Amino acid sequence: MFSAIKRTFRELGWLDALLYYFSEIIFRSSGGRARLVRYQLVAQPVAVSPVISKVDPNTEIRRIFPGDPLSRNFPRAPEIIAMRFARGDVCLAATVKGRFAGFIWLAFGAYDEDEVRCRYELRGDGVSWDYDIHVEPEFRMGRCFIRLWDAANTLLRERKIRWSISRISAFNPTSLNSHARLGTRLLGKASFLILGSLQLSFIGKWIPHLSLRDASSPKLTLSSPTMDKAR
């Protein structure tokens, strides 16, 4: 147990490690009614060329539209998928030998967080938002993840997008390291303390924002690293 705690502090740093354990304590002691969510907000440069140039005849990646039969295999609730399509988000899905293998979602202009109350507004024409990158367990040891990103970057280049912004759990070192290898740059951090229906948001300089419903969600403006930092 002590070695696991040491590893957590080494991987996350002392502040995020302390917040991680605080989140675990309040979540368990409250029966799941209280939790702390903390994100790193990062920008990833859109690659100028594919990472994998060789075509795999067994893998197909295509854009999915509402009503596509493949979406029935998505490990997400139908109403969530419908909501994403309704707001204009783009989904790219991969199949391997005809079997669903994974997807990536892209948003343009703004993105409404689906874990906490927050709206991310993108400033500038050369930025987009990526989220919910999923690869089925049996395909995670292959190149599906990279092929999905290659397809996403192709679409983003066609739209003149230079940076794709996303949020990553500050408590997930595996995901943080995976994104770091893609050349991400840190824009800022955001923390959300949820107590039942009450949410306290700490963004930027830790000035709290109180929210009791969706209508009072905080808004966070983000831009590429070449413009102003997150505010």
- pLDDT tens-digit map of 80-130: 999 999 999 999 999 999 999 999 999 999 999 988 999 999 998 899 999
Give the chain's mean pLDDT: 90
Sign of CA dihedral 204, 210, 211, 215: negative
**The pLDDT of residue 206:** 62
pLDDT digits (tens, 9 = 90+) for 48-93: 888 887 888 999 999 999 999 999 999 999 999 999 999 999 999 9
Q: Is 36 helix (H, G, I), strand (E, B) or coil?
A: strand
Measured from the Cβ of residue 181, the count of other Cβ atoms closer than 10 Å reads 7
**The pLDDT of residue 21:** 95
Contact 74, 92 (CB under 8 A): no
DSSP sequence for 150-203: HHHHHHHHHTT--EEEEEEETT-HHHHHHHHTTT-EEEEEEEEEEETTEEEEEE
Which stretches of 66-162 are assigned E, i.e. beta strand? 90-96, 99-107, 110-112, 119-122, 127-135
Mean pLDDT on 170-178: 87
Q: How confident is the model at residue 138 (pLDDT cuts 50, 70, 90)?
A: very high
Q: Which residues of 51-81 are buried (b: 16+ CB within 10 A; e: fewer)?
A: eeeeeeeebebeebeeeeeebeebeeeeeeb
pTM: 0.85
CB neighbour class for 182 (10 Å; exposed up to 12, middle 13-18, buried from 19): middle
Tokens of 87: 């707001």
Higher pLDDT, 1 or 43: 43
Is pLDDT of 178 > 90? no
Q: How confident is the model at residue 224 (pLDDT cuts 50, 70, 90)?
A: confident
Higher pLDDT, 74 or 180: 74
Tokens of 17: 């490690």
Candidates 3.30.43.10, 3.50.50.60, 3.40.630.30, 3.10.590.10; correct CATH number of 11-222?
A: 3.40.630.30
Q: How confident is the model at residue 229 (pLDDT cuts 50, 70, 90)?
A: very low
